[in-house]
């Protein structure tokens, strides 16, 4: 296989575009794809500070790397989830990346907030991934607002977005489809713009980019994610992709072009404010405060049971 740009021996095969690149040209191609997504989708401009949600995995660290190379002003945001050794290793890698490059990083330890993921899941009988999703969304929104940035970027890639789309379509979650876009504008005074600059790049491409850029990312998977439905959807899509390359990309791109505008029109009213914490809420309290209430009451009940 030869590099599409310089005809040297190729190292990275980009199946959905049926092209291949040598190491140097792949880096250029990848960074241009991200830059093009930022411009074409009007994600943010050069004078805005961008908060980047970083987990320590390949996608978010690759994203942070590209944004730094492209000259954007960034601040990292990392949630230490409290999921044993996996979380400790992820936090260590994130901090090392920031230190090495002199990038500012905000770290929140959920354990110190009394809501490490195992506690949230254990006290509420919710699947750990559901509790984790609620906590992440809450802290991302809250810390972006408190920092005063106007935009929050996450490392979601093409595979993440296509899998999410498949899940939303299989259950016809119309309200979720109305919000599945690489740029989400704020609908509440405490929301910031949310963007996904890697949405056109596959999971293989982000991993290859992290590898050739020698980014020391966390290779281990979250112990909770085995059997996650997201992985079932990804596997189904990858089986189709193996026979029909480009399917994932067309599925997502055509949804954004043809489906999204239809669903977005049907969107419900904007959120009001949580009576407890002031963050956006679709009920009287936001989903995070309602989760915490559940945890607190279970905790209290268990403590009483132990005393009697």
Tell which one of 160, 181, 197, 295 touches another protein (CB under 8 A): 160
Residue 174 touches which member of another protein, Zn ion, none, C-beta under 5-8 Å by kind: none
Q: Does 6 bind another protein (CB under 8 A)?
A: no
Specify the residue, 59 or 65, whose C-beta has the smaller distance to another protein: 59
Residue 5 touches which member of another protein, Zn ion, none, C-beta under 5-8 Å by kind: Zn ion
Specify the residue, 17 or 298, whose C-beta has the smaller distance to another protein: 17
Angle of CA points 170, 176, 181, to nearest 5°: 110
Tell which one of 77, 241, 281, 286 touches another protein (CB under 8 A): 241
Contact positions with another protein (CB under 8 A) in 47-86 = 55, 57-59
Task: List the one residue out of 267, 254, 78 whose CA is nearest residue 185.
Answer: 267
Helix or strand holding residue 131 (H, E): helix 128-147
**Cα separation values, 258 from 115, 250, 253, 279, Å:** 40, 11, 9, 32
Cα separation, 95 vs 217, whole angstroms: 11
Instruction: Identify the DSSP state of 284.
Output: S
Q: How far is the CB of 190 from Zn ion (least distance, A)?
A: 10
Q: Does 135 bind another protein (CB under 8 A)?
A: no
> How many residues interact with another protein (rule CB under 8 A)?
37
Cα separation, 152 vs 145, whole angstroms: 10
Angle, helix 158-170 to helix 203-212, in steps of 10 degrees: 160
Tell which one of 41, 89, 184, 211 touches another protein (CB under 8 A): 211
- 195, 152 contact by CB (below 8 A): yes
Q: Does 204 bind another protein (CB under 8 A)?
A: yes
Specify the residue, 109 or 142, whose C-beta has the smaller distance to Zn ion: 142
Cα separation, 102 vs 107, whole angstroms: 15
Stretch of residues binding another protein (CB under 8 A), selected from 143-151, 199-207, 271-279, 284-292 = 199-207
Tell which one of 20, 149, 162, 252 touches another protein (CB under 8 A): 20
């Amino acid at each position: 296989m030869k590099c599409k740009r310089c005809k040297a021996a190729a190292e990275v095969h980009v199946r959905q575009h049926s092209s291949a690149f040598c190491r140097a040209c792949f880096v250029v191609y990848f960074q241009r794809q991200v830059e093009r997504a930022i411009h074409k989708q009007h994600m943010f401009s050069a004078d805005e500070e961008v908060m980047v949600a970083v987990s320590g995995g390949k996608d978010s660290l690759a994203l942070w790397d590209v944004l730094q190379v492209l000259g954007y002003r960034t601040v990292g945001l990392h949630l230490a989830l409290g999921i044993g050794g996996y979380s400790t290793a992820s936090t260590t890698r994130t901090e090392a990346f920031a230190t090495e490059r002199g990038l500012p990083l905000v770290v929140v330890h959920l354990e110190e907030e009394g809501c490490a993921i195992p506690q949230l899941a254990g006290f509420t009988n919710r699947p750990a991934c559901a509790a984790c999703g609620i906590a992440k969304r809450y802290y991302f929104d809250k810390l972006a607002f408190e920092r005063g940035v106007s935009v929050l970027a996450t490392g979601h890639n093409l595979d993440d977005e296509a899998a999410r789309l498949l899940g939303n379509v299989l259950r016809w979650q119309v309200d979720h489809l109305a919000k599945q876009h690489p740029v989400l504008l704020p609908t509440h005074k405490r929301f910031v713009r949310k963007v996904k600059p890697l949405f056109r790049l596959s999971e293989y491409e982000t991993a290859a980019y992290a590898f050739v850029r020698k980014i020391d990312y966390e290779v281990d998977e979250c112990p909770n994610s085995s059997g996650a439905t997201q992985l079932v959807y990804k596997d189904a899509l990858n089986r189709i992709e193996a026979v029909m390359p480009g399917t994932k990309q067309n599925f997502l791109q055509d949804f954004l072009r043809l489906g999204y505008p239809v669903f977005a029109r049907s969107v419900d009213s904007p959120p009001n404010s949580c009576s407890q914490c002031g963050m956006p809420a679709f009920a009287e309290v936001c989903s995070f405060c309602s989760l915490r209430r559940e945890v607190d009451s279970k905790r209290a009940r268990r403590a009483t049971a132990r005393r009697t």
